[in-house]
Structure 1
Amino acid sequence: MNTVIMIGRLTRDPELRYIASTGNAVTRFAIAVDRAFAAKDAEVTADFFNVVVWGKRAETCVNYLAKGRMVAIRGRLQNNNYTDKNGNKQYSVEVIAEEVKFIDWGDKKNTANIGSQNNSQYDGIDEEGYRAINDDSVPF
């Protein structure tokens, strides 16, 4: 069984593309999911996941979601691998969404203050949903 359910905030606006050969719509975005545990006085930590949505659902996501919006995702994990131009094997995992629920509802025009109090913890996140790591934060 390969099922994942998560709730988080978008770290960037969704990007819509159409597959040339089939005309199928595909949308990609990343979400930050807060971890349920933290040390007593520690900041909340988040994990970042790349999400892929297909078909009519992808078009709906582009129309109603934007950076900062909260969504619930139900889907499956998919491994991807490829060899980069230097000959190194690269791996990634993404969530293929089968269901997307909009928790913050509205059109994209009304997103200015959505989750602004929570988004400060996501400052410094790049467009792929990753935060730069400094050597002091690595536990080994």
Structure 2
Amino acid sequence: MINRVILVGRLTADPSLRYTPKGVAVCNFTLAVNRPFTNQQGEREADFINVQVWRRPAENAANFLRKGSLAGVDGRLQTRSYEGQNGKVYVTEVIADSVQFLEPKGKDSGEQNNAHRGQNTAYNDPFAGEGAPINISDDDLPF
């Protein structure tokens, strides 16, 4: 049997870090993941998926991710239930084995920090030459 989940999306809020009574770190956050199609109005919808990560990766996620951060999650799907005020409550979430930070540290989503400092942000895009030929000598090739 295989239970594997790989997601890429943006955090909907700052992650929440807490510790168990035995001192084990656990971090929870919600990832907004775009659907690969548009609805009848031509708008792209998203799914909001709860993620839980444990131990050192939990502390890293809490320290380096913020609302709007782009993150990749690799883990497994888990369901659980508990008794709520109005009966049984079912929860489905991703238990992350790893969380990848997919944006440079300090970059706020939707905002170009470098633009505020008057710098050109094109250095981030290695393909910014818009298809112009690249001069590479034969000595630079590995074969």
Same fold (TM over 0.5): yes
One-letter code aligned to 2:93:
E
One-letter code aligned to 1:59:
E
- Partners of 1:92 and 1:115 in 2: CA distance: 31
Which entry has the higher C-alpha Rg, 1 or 2?
A: 2
Q: Is the 8 A contact 1:13 1:29 kept in 2?
A: yes
After TM superposition, give the deviation of residue 115 of structure 1 in Å.
3.0
In structure 2, the partner of 1:52 is: 52
Q: Could you tell me the TM-score, scaled by structure 2's length? A: 0.72
Tell whether 2:25 aligns with 1:25: yes
Residue pairs, 1:56-75, within 5 angstroms: 56-75=56-75
One-letter code aligned to 2:5:
V
Task: Count how many residue pairs are aligned between Structure 1 and Structure 2.
Answer: 110
- Partners of 2:28 and 2:3 in 1: CA distance: 20
In structure 1, the partner of 2:9 is: 8
Tell whether 2:98 aligns with 1:99: yes
In structure 2, the partner of 1:89 is: 88
In structure 2, the partner of 1:127 is: none
Q: Is the 8 A contact 1:71 1:103 kept in 2?
A: yes
One-letter code aligned to 2:96:
A
In structure 1, the partner of 2:110 is: 115
Q: CA RMSD in A?
A: 1.5
- Partners of 1:16 and 1:85 in 2: CA distance: 25
One-letter code aligned to 1:85:
Q
Q: Which runs of 5+ in 1 are unaligned?
A: 117-140
Report 1 or 2 for greater relative contact order, CA contacts < 8 Å, sequence distance ≥ 6: 1
| Identical positions, percent | 45
- Partners of 2:39 and 2:28 in 1: CA distance: 33
After TM superposition, give the deviation of residue 105 of structure 1 in Å.
2.3
- Partners of 1:28 and 1:6 in 2: CA distance: 15
In structure 2, the partner of 1:76 is: 76
Q: Is the 8 A contact 2:39 2:45 kept in 1?
A: no
After TM superposition, give the deviation of residue 102 of structure 1 in Å.
0.6
- Partners of 2:16 and 2:57 in 1: CA distance: 13
Higher strand fraction (1 or 2): 2
After TM superposition, give the deviation of residue 39 of structure 1 in Å.
4.5
After TM superposition, give the deviation of residue 40 of structure 1 in Å.
7.2
